[in-house]
Amino acid sequence: MQQTLSRRSFAALSTLGLGLPGLLGGCRGTTKAGSTTMIPGEQAPLADHLGWFSVDKPTIARVMTELTARGADAADLYFQYSRDNSITMEDGIISRASSSVDQGVGLRVVVGDQTGYAFTEDLSLEAMLAAARTAAGIAHSGAAHAPVEFKQRSRPSYYTLSQPWAEVQTVQKLPRIEQLAALARKGDPSIHKVTVSWADGEELVLIADMHGNVHTDIRPMTRLWCMLTAKKGDVTQSNSANLAGRHGFEWYTDERLEFLAKEAVARTMVLFDAKRPPAGEMPVVLAAGASGILLHEAIGHGMEADFNRKNTSIYASMIGKKVAPDFVTIVDDATQPGERGALNVDDEGNAVEKTVLVDHGVMASYLHDSISAKHYKVKATGSGRRESFRHSPMPRMRSTYMENGPHTREEIIASVKKGIIAETFTNGQVQIGAGDFTFYIKNGWLIEDGKITAPIKDINIIGNGPEALRNVTMVANDCKLDFGGWTCGKDGQSVPVSQGLPTTLVSKMTVGGENV
Amino acid sequence: MSDLLQSAKTAIDLAKKSGAQDAWAAVSRDRSVSLTYRDGKVEKVEESTSRGLGISLYVDGRYSSHSTTDLRPDRLAGFIKEAVALTRVLQPDPFRVIPDPALFKDRPTANLERVDPSVAKLTREQREAWAAEMDAKAHSDKRVISAESNLFSGESQGAAASSNGFDGTWDGSYVGYSCTATVREGEDKRPEGSGHAVGRFLAGLPEPAAVAALALQRAIDRLGSAKGPTVRTTMVVDPEAAVSLISRALGPMSAASIQQGRSYLAGKQGQKVFGDKLTVTDDPLVPRGLSSRHFDGEGISAKRMPLVEAGVVRNYYVDTYYGRKLGMAPTTGSASNRVVGLGDKSLAALIGDVQDGIYVTSWLGGNSDATTGDFSLGLRGHQIKGGKIGAPIGEMNVTGNLAALFAKLALVGNDPYPYSSLRAPTLVFEDVQFSGT
């Protein structure tokens, strides 16, 4: 998992994000109900969604017939239109912006656990039929399935904006960007460079399956970065902080901008005093919030059912087993409002939920897409996700966090004789089968004799998933989700996720460090 | 003129009509095919053709860049018109100018052998047959519980044009395969090993089964892996792992990171930062090189450029924009192939010389701070005892500073990793801090 927003770049072109006022508005002209506004949070009529893609029900039926011509257990079309904008302020001026528009349809045929997949950016009937024939190549026998009727399925709404991003003018955003830069610059006289990067976008999806179910969603996303470089004498330090979520323009209040600037300044300035801790095994306290990266790497990936169906996860034979103390309950939840990991419907059209992975210390459920749910004969958990129409879905995390435990942060810190507390992170990784996982601490502190003492920086932590779960010895009652944005990478696909944790003590992990 | 070049020129005309003084456009088209095979049968087949356009706009001293995959003429015209309008509301940037046409001159014409025509002719049957061979090889040990093999290939064409006289086209092919084998260890552990090969040409790649054999061997090598001790000792880095380590060390060589104060290599041009044994050249003209090119993303004509010579920093990656901010002449904005100066010994001989230490086969997570060079990386590998590769180790970290680490680069091997545009050999570092038990 990386915190950098990595999108698969098409065609080796540089694809930053950007913002085009009125672009979605322009496309709206293609719908019949020209006055309808597609607002994230509300479910627009199916006709409007079809209009976005200039397709109609007979066209979808025709393509579905071709897609299932050689038989199919399941088949779907995933139409997507996305628009991303970004603006950057650097060296005191708002010096660049970028925008990208991406549109296409992914066509999938599933036979047992075999998948045929193709996509096209050209939404003409001819191009879609050609892609359908390619994807259908996986199947060998059976009758075509053409839905006789299409029904738009209702869904909940976990992201509500007062105004779609497409209607927010660039000039509205500029003062907020300048305000954040000014706040950061004021934060400390040593601040030498301030870069502010703004990103917003919307994604429209329409998923049609071979039974005639149609699911639609409009997914907003925004992020604001504050990157700082500070100089003291001949020492230079840099660091950053960001706010991210499925929110609208109104989310960027004065208070949030002040918080972000303060956070970025504090994270940067503390580096001048930060050292490496001693190397080796020691107790690690994970501060509430971003430390959810521990769950993401140590258990989350290993609970994605595709790895277990393939028998390659260290958790493949652990359902029903006791893996952690009673006070440990870990969930993966699509229903946290406004989170990057929030979804109204998953990318296969399955209903979303809050899935309990570990229930009071006992391994409870994997994260399922349709293929693994069928394999395990359980209900899908709404975890089928994909980076875009160019990719076939697979089980992925959404918002992963641990429920509150019986201890307090103060008790936990006081219990540590010699260890560290980890606060901010840049990235993590896991080996699914061996269970070894890592995460990289950007900011943290030493704990000596039950007290937080000196700041530390730039160390990798490595542990083993099941062992780390067993070694969770204390969990506090202060769970929160990280305010910054996280992007999870798996098999070359990046999806937005969220993570959180109450203050947690793992009694022993291997800490990178230096013994001098 | 190719249809792609025509599309790029049309986009430039649209931008100028909308009021841009200058514009740069690139258009490309890719076909990609991927076949995944697992445990005796095809798991997934993916096949697609993709296209897209990117355009950079210079409008009244302001700048923006845009991309789209919706190339219907009316949509594209509207997109560019709105993009120009958006640019006007930004602030003027005195450093932003379209690349100097003088940099487009003397474009090399050497045949870089970027396209293997046989790649486009690969059949579904051939892919399946190769995948089946890999799968059979990967399952040739009874400890294997799962194996996944992937064959991937593609072809791409592209064209770029600018309002100040640049035009160019490119094409390329790639083909490769990878295999991951998972073996059972005890009740729960399932260590895995992977093999991988990729090239522009089919000829020169190893047999698919050889890649599967490597994956299987690497998985078996992991059996019994344990945490080693916390120790300062010699580190031998496998060529495949050395790719990302060198890439990390040289990452902050861009003018952007230097100008933004986020590079530990800022102000070091002409200075000795690394050990004598480190020499790296950016070479865009390697035949069949994965990143070979006649010109870069700004149209700058390709030429070889020393980056580090015997530990001395020689050149940075300087693009037009950050070059102007720094007062430096543009070199090229991005890396092509990076060729590392070689020693004269193999991995086995180097391990024999080292006697005792740790042999790193791959990294797990970790990161580095580009501003200070501080790094900390998770690792997997083996003990080195008495000049031989010993027991497997894992769940360990290595921590230090990139400049200090590479200053203690003692030896380099004669064995560059062939499946990356950064061709790294075995590296031997002295006095490295490991964290373990």
The residues spanned by each domain of chain A are 10-270, 280-511
Q: With 50 as the cut, is the pLDDT of residue A7 above it?
A: no
* A272 residue type, one letter: F
* Interface touch A310/B148, C-beta < 8 Å: yes
According to CATH, the topology of domain B3-221 is: PmbA/TldD fold (3.30.2290)
* Interface touch B397/A20, C-beta < 8 Å: no
* Interface touch A26/B63, C-beta < 8 Å: no
In the structure encoding, which two tokens stand for residue A209, read together?
A: 């399956």
Residue B192's nearest CA partner among B212, B166, B207 is: B212
pLDDT value for A52: 84
* Interface touch B44/A390, C-beta < 8 Å: no
Residue B323's nearest CA partner among B244, B411, B254 is: B254
According to CATH, the topology of domain A10-270 is: PmbA/TldD fold (3.30.2290)
pLDDT value for B71: 86
Give the integer Cα–Cα distance in Å for B171 and B222.
40
Give the integer Cα–Cα distance in Å for A174 and A158.
28
When the pLDDT of each residue in chain B is averaged and rounded to a whole number, the result is 96
* A257 residue type, one letter: L
What are A287-300's pLDDT values in tens digits?
A: 999 999 999 999 99
* Segment (H or E) for B321: helix B320-326
Structure-model confidence comparison of residues B189 and B301, the more confident one: B301
* Interface touch B28/A238, C-beta < 8 Å: no
Give the integer Cα–Cα distance in Å for A344 and A212.
19
In the structure encoding, which two tokens stand for residue B396, read together?
A: 């360990």
In the structure encoding, which two tokens stand for residue B365, read together?
A: 């997570």
pLDDT value for B154: 96
Q: With 70 as the cut, is the pLDDT of residue A38 above it?
A: no
Contacts of A311 (CB under 8 A, 6+ apart): B145, B146, B182, B190
pLDDT value for A138: 87
- How distant is the Cα of B87 from the closest Cα of chain A, in angstroms? 7
CB-nearest to A311 from B46, B54, B146 is: B146
Give the chain A residue nearest B75 (alpha carbons).
Answer: A27
Domain ranges of chain B: 3-221, 225-437
In the structure encoding, which two tokens stand for residue B190, read together?
A: 């399932």
Cα-Cα-Cα-Cα torsion B359, B357, B372, B315, nearest 10 degrees, comes to -60
**C-alpha Rg value of chain B to the nearest Å:** 24
Interface of A with B in 84-123 (CB under 8 A): 87, 90-91, 93-104, 113-121
pLDDT band (50, 70, 90) for residue A29 = very low
- How distant is the Cα of B22 from the closest Cα of chain A, in angstroms? 15
A–B CB contacts, 8 A cutoff, strictly below: 307
Averaged pLDDT for residues A86-110: 96
User: Cβ distance A445 to A454 under 8 Å?
Assistant: yes
3-class SS of residue A295: helix
What are B360-389's pLDDT values in tens digits?
A: 999 999 999 999 999 999 999 999 999 999
CB-nearest to B46 from A195, A392, A457 is: A392
Q: Determine phi and psi for A339, rounding to 5 degrees.
A: -80, 155
Structure-model confidence comparison of residues A27 and A466, the more confident one: A466
Q: Determine phi and psi for A34, rounding to 5 degrees.
A: -60, -20
Give the integer Cα–Cα distance in Å for B378 and B295.
37
Helix A57-67, helix A125-136: angle, nearest 10: 30
CB-nearest to A121 from B69, B90, B189 is: B69
What percent of chain A is modeled with pLDDT above 70? Answer: 92
Q: Distances from the Cα of A165 to the Cαs of A101, A180, A202, in angstroms?
A: 14, 20, 7
Q: Distances from the Cα of A196 to the Cαs of A2, A179, A193, A359, in angstroms?
A: 19, 10, 10, 41
Give the integer Cα–Cα distance in Å for A232 and A425.
24
Q: What is the DSSP pairing of strand B422-423 with strand B338-340?
A: parallel
Q: CB distance from A492 to chain B under 8 Å?
A: no
Q: Distances from the Cα of B226 to the Cαs of A333, B145, B331, in angstroms?
A: 35, 21, 47
User: Cβ distance A80 to A205 under 8 Å?
Assistant: yes
Q: With 80 as the cut, is the pLDDT of residue A16 above it?
A: no
In the structure encoding, which two tokens stand for residue A400, read together?
A: 């992963």
Contacts of A4 (CB under 8 A, 6+ apart): A487
Query: Which DSSP state fits A162?
Result: S
Give the integer Cα–Cα distance in Å for B119 and B49.
15
* Interface touch B156/A95, C-beta < 8 Å: no
Q: With 90 as the cut, is the pLDDT of residue A136 above it?
A: yes
**Test the A interface: residue of B88, B91, B397 with most A CBs within 10 Å:** B397
SS3 string of chain B?
CCHHHHHHHHHHHHHHHCCCCEEEEEEEEEEEEEEEEECCEEEEEEEEEEEEEEEEEEECCEEEEEEECCCCHHHHHHHHHHHHHHHHCCCCCCCCCCCCHHHHCCCCCCCCCCCCHHHHCCCHHHHHHHHHHHHHHHCCCCCEEEEEEEEEEEEEEEEEEECCCCEEEEEEEEEEEEEEEEECECCCECCEEEEEEEECCCCCCCCHHHHHHHHHHHHHHCCCCECCCCEEEEEEECHHHHHHHHHHHHHHHEHHHHHCCCCCCCCCCCCECCCCCCCEEECCCCCCCCCCCCECCCCCECCCEEEEECCEECCCECCHHHHHHHCCCCCCCCCCCEEECCCCECHHHHHHHHCCEEEEEEEEEEEECCCCCEEEEEEEEEEEECCEEEEEEEEEEEEEEHHHHHHCEEEEECCCCCCCCEECCCEEEEEEEEECC
3-class SS of residue A373: helix
pLDDT band (50, 70, 90) for residue A28 = very low
- How distant is the Cα of A191 from the closest Cα of chain B, in angstroms? 11
Residues of chain B neighbouring A438 (CB-CB closer than 8 A):
364-366, 378, 397
Give the integer Cα–Cα distance in Å for A77 and A214.
10
Averaged pLDDT for residues B86-110: 97
Q: With 60 as the cut, is the pLDDT of residue A25 above it?
A: no
Q: CB distance from A514 to chain B under 8 Å?
A: yes
Taking phi first (over 0 means left), then psi (-120 to 50 degrees means alpha), and beta for anything else, what does residue B9 get? alpha
Averaged pLDDT for residues B95-105: 97
Q: Determine phi and psi for B374, rounding to 5 degrees.
A: -65, 135
* Segment (H or E) for B351: helix B347-354
Averaged pLDDT for residues B54-83: 94
CB-nearest to A229 from B26, B30, B262 is: B262
pLDDT value for B1: 65
**Test the A interface: residue of B135, B264, B364 with most A CBs within 10 Å:** B364
What are A260-279's pLDDT values in tens digits?
A: 999 999 999 999 999 999 99
Q: With 50 as the cut, is the pLDDT of residue B153 above it?
A: yes
Q: Distances from the Cα of A446 to the Cαs of A196, A210, A443, in angstroms?
A: 31, 57, 10
Q: With 80 as the cut, is the pLDDT of residue A34 above it?
A: no
In the structure encoding, which two tokens stand for residue A21, read together?
A: 């006022």
pTM (2 d.p.): 0.93
User: Cβ distance B179 to B197 under 8 Å?
Assistant: no
Give the integer Cα–Cα distance in Å for B400 and B149.
36
Q: With 90 as the cut, is the pLDDT of residue A439 above it?
A: yes
Give the integer Cα–Cα distance in Å for B392 and A409.
38
User: Cβ distance B359 to B381 under 8 Å?
Assistant: yes
Task: Give the position of tokens 């769950």.
Answer: A295
pLDDT value for A42: 65
Averaged pLDDT for residues B411-436: 97
CB-nearest to A102 from B69, B187, B192 is: B69
CA angle B322, B327, B332 (to 5 degrees): 50
CB-nearest to B188 from A97, A317, A515 is: A317
pLDDT value for A515: 83
* Interface touch A427/B367, C-beta < 8 Å: yes
